[in-house]
């Protein structure tokens, strides 16, 4: 039995759901849709959402659907945030509308266009706070920004997630091979 799928999803006040071919979740921050795969049913019981399945062959889809529905409910009610840090001398970012301009040690500045639904605030030129209601899209945008200059293992310069622990490598020693 899916342990994730059995857990009911509490509905916060202000969040409405519509169950049809897919689950439509509407809240104060926006609306999201969650696909309902075949063999999985969604029922509203009191102020909770319960996900049921038709057989054990749908166990993986059962847990997946429950997780996607819970993320949609959380997204439209409170939203999600991802934080990134830029480490390195001269490395910085600047937000201009839905475009973030990065200076990352290349010969040219990099312009990153944010998709709709994702907002970015730049604090102190080196701390980015990404916010949005779609957890998957937010994580993908954060990963794409990190790929512009991933942290390198020797000096640890680059873009990293806030709180990310990196393994530092030891550089070459100065002794010649005699």
How far apart are the C-alpha atoms of 36 and 24, rounded to whole Å? 10
pLDDT > 50? residue 22: yes
pTM listed for this prediction = 0.81
CATH of 80-161, one of 3.20.20.20, 3.90.930.12, 3.90.70.10, 3.30.530.20: 3.90.930.12
- Please state the rounded mean pLDDT for residues 78-82: 90
Q: For residue 161, what pLDDT is reported? A: 85
Which tens digit of pLDDT belongs to each residue from 101-122? 988 888 998 888 988 888 888 8
- Please state the rounded mean pLDDT for residues 40-66: 86
How far apart are the C-alpha atoms of 130 and 85, rounded to whole Å? 11
Q: Give the residue, 153 or 174, on which the prediction is more confident.
A: 153
- Please state the rounded mean pLDDT for residues 38-49: 87
- Please state the rounded mean pLDDT for residues 16-32: 86
List the chain domain ranges: 3-77, 80-161
Q: For residue 93, what pLDDT is reported? A: 87
80-161 matches 3-77 in CATH topology: yes
- Please state the rounded mean pLDDT for residues 4-8: 82
Q: Tell me the pLDDT band of 81, cut-offs 50, 70 and 90.
A: very high
Q: For residue 1, what pLDDT is reported? A: 47
Q: Would you identify the CATH topology of the domain 3-77?
A: Outer Surface Protein A; domain 3 (3.90.930)
Q: Tell me the pLDDT band of 178, cut-offs 50, 70 and 90.
A: low
Vertex 97 angle, CA 92 and 101, to 5°:
25
pLDDT > 70? residue 24: yes
């Amino acid at each position: 039995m899916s342990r994730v799928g059995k857990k009911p999803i509490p509905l916060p006040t202000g969040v409405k759901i519509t169950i049809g071919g897919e689950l439509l979740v509407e809240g104060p921050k926006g609306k999201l849709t969650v696909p309902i795969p075949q063999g999985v049913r969604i029922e509203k019981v009191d102020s909770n959402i319960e996900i049921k399945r038709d057989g054990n062959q749908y166990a993986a889809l059962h847990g997946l659907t429950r997780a996607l529905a819970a993320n949609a409910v959380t997204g439209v009610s409170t939203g999600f945030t991802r934080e990134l840090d830029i480490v390195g001398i001269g490395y910085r970012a600047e937000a201009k509308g839905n475009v973030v301009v990065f200076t990352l040690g290349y010969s040219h500045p990099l312009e990153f266009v944010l998709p709709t639904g994702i907002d970015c605030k730049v604090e102190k030129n080196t701390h980015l706070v990404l916010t949005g209601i779609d957890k998957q899209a937010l994580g993908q945008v954060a990963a794409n920004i990190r790929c512009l200059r991933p942290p390198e293992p020797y000096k640890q310069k680059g873009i990293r997630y806030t709180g990310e622990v990196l393994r530092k490598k030891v550089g070459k020693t100065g002794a010649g091979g005699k």
